């Protein structure tokens, strides 16, 4: 990519990538919005944090110049934005189940309510899975990205279930490549409101930041490609609920939750995208990553298959459901 062209008589800027900035495209839903609101939506940070980033010169516009917080930006424009500062993660004793481990990787069950790693929305969050992994496997420091050592994919805070984590550089590289090639099979169990019209189906719709509410995702024009497949494995009519086996073909933020809500079948207990009370009273969101299949990164001929049953608080409430 050629260096940005300077504008308004300013001196040419160094390549944004060399300054540690990441490239973003302004989605349609943020057309003609203030720069500080755009940064807030894209990075999922507060307006005050986005304003400080911009005032520190960490936002470069499409003409290679630093933008101001109140400037308007157009949909489709390329921006280069610096990440908000993160505090260094410290090892902490966090409870999680280990279903498999060797010198290269560990397959763990993330509990509901535990954040996978600190991020832009919660840079100072403690008691994360990443902190727990660093406590149990101190050798992973330096494997992957800072503050998320060993993490190759994530689960939402309200989602429980299986995750594979890298304990070696080889595993981090190979597992990351396998995820990008969609060679890692991830299956979830989700209880949704309503009865499905068909036993099998798919939702194929682009996802991006919700232009109306920070921290949410939505189906938006110009968003990232996303595909979710589902199969009904159980149901009940009073109240109408469907238990789905869901497979991710892509791995976008909140993908399952947004896609199912977009077809009128929100996940039960999902306060962000559902907005309906849980008729079964589980006290949590009904989404659990129960199956994970992949090839071992150090021995591709070895197929790894792992299964995690529904947590008891969910499992006992679907006993007797038709099809289960």
Percentage of the chain exceeding pLDDT 70: 90
Assess whether 210 carries a catalytic annotation.
Answer: no
In the block, tokens 């009940």 appear at 236
Q: What's the pLDDT band for 97 if we cut at 50, 70, 90?
A: very high
Q: Give SS3 for 27.
A: coil
Residues found in the chain: 324
Answer whether 84's CB lies under 8 Å from 45's CB: yes
Q: Which of 74-88, 197-211, 249-263, 288-302 has the lowest mean pLDDT?
A: 74-88
Q: Classify domain 16-82 by CATH number.
A: 3.10.290.10
Q: Which residues of 293-320 are buried (b: 16+ CB within 10 A; e: fewer)?
A: ebbbbeeeeeebebebebbeebeebbee
Overall fold of domain 86-181: Pseudouridine synthase (3.30.2350)
**Contact indicator for 220, 201 with CB cutoff of 8 Å:** no
Peptide bond preceding 301: is omega within 30 degrees of 0, i.e. cis? no
- Per-residue pLDDT tens for 101-157? 999 999 999 999 999 988 655 555 678 999 999 999 999 999 998 888 999 999 999
CB of 306 closer than 8 Å to CB of 99: yes
pLDDT top residue among 28 and 200: 200
Strands 200-204 and 185-193: unpaired
For the chain, the domains span 16-82, 86-181, 188-288
CB 67 within 8 Å of CB 73: yes
pLDDT of residue 19: 64
Average pLDDT of span 97-102: 98
Closest residue by Cα to residue 121 from 17, 222, 254: 254
Catalytic-role residue among 7, 31, 102, 156: 156
Structure letter (DSSP) for residue 144: S
* Nearest CA-CA partner of 266 in 196, 321, 204, 199: 196
Distances (CA, A) of 47 to 34, 38, 40, 72: 11, 9, 5, 15
86-181 has the same fold as 16-82? no
CATH number 3.30.2350.10 is the correct assignment for the domain at 188-288:
yes
1-10, 86-95, 223-232, 250-259: which range is least confident on average?
1-10
Structure tokens at 106: 């560990």
pLDDT for 5: 34
**Close Cβ partners of 177 (under 8 Å, ≥ 6 residues apart):** none
Joined together, the tokens standing for residue 212 give 């109306």
pLDDT of the residue at 163? 98
Mean pLDDT of 1-5: 36
d(CA 295, CA 184): 8
Say whether pLDDT at 41 is over 70.
yes
Average pLDDT, the chain: 88
């Amino acid at each position: 990519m050629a260096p940005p062209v300077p504008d308004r008589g300013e001196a040419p800027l160094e390549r944004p990538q060399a300054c540690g900035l990441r490239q973003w495209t302004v989605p349609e839903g943020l057309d003609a919005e203030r720069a500080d609101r755009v940064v807030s939506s894209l990075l999922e940070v507060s307006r005050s944090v986005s304003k400080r980033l911009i005032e520190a010169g960490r936002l470069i516009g499409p003409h290679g110049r630093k933008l101001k917080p109140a400037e308007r930006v157009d949909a489709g424009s390329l921006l280069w934005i610096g990440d908000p500062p993160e505090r260094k993660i410290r090892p902490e004793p966090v409870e999680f189940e280990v279903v498999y481990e060797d010198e290269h990787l560990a397959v763990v069950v993330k509990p509901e309510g535990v954040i996978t790693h600190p991020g832009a929305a919660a840079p100072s969050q403690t008691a994360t899975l990443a902190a727990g992994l660093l406590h149990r496997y101190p050798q992973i420091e330096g494997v992957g990205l800072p503050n998320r050592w060993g993490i190759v994919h994530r689960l939402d805070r309200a989602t429980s279930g299986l995750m594979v984590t890298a304990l070696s550089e080889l595993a981090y590289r190979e597992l990351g490549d396998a995820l990008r090639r969609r060679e890692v099979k991830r299956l979830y169990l989700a209880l949704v409101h309503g009865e499905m019209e068909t036993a099998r189906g798919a939702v194929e719709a682009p996802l991006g930041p919700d232009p109306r509410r920070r921290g949410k995702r939505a189906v938006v024009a110009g968003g990232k490609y996303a595909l979710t497949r589902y199969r009904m494995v159980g149901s009940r009519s009073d109240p109408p609920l469907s238990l789905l086996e869901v497979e991710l073909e892509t791995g976008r933020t909140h993908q399952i939750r947004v896609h199912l809500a977009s077809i009128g079948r929100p996940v039960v207990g999902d306060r962000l995208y559902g907005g309906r009370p849980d008729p079964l009273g589980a006290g949590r969101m009904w989404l659990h990553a129960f199956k994970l299949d992949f090839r071992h990164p150090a021995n591709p001929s070895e197929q790894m298959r792992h299964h995690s049953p529904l947590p008891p608080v969910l499992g006992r409430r679907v006993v007797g459901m038709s099809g289960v």
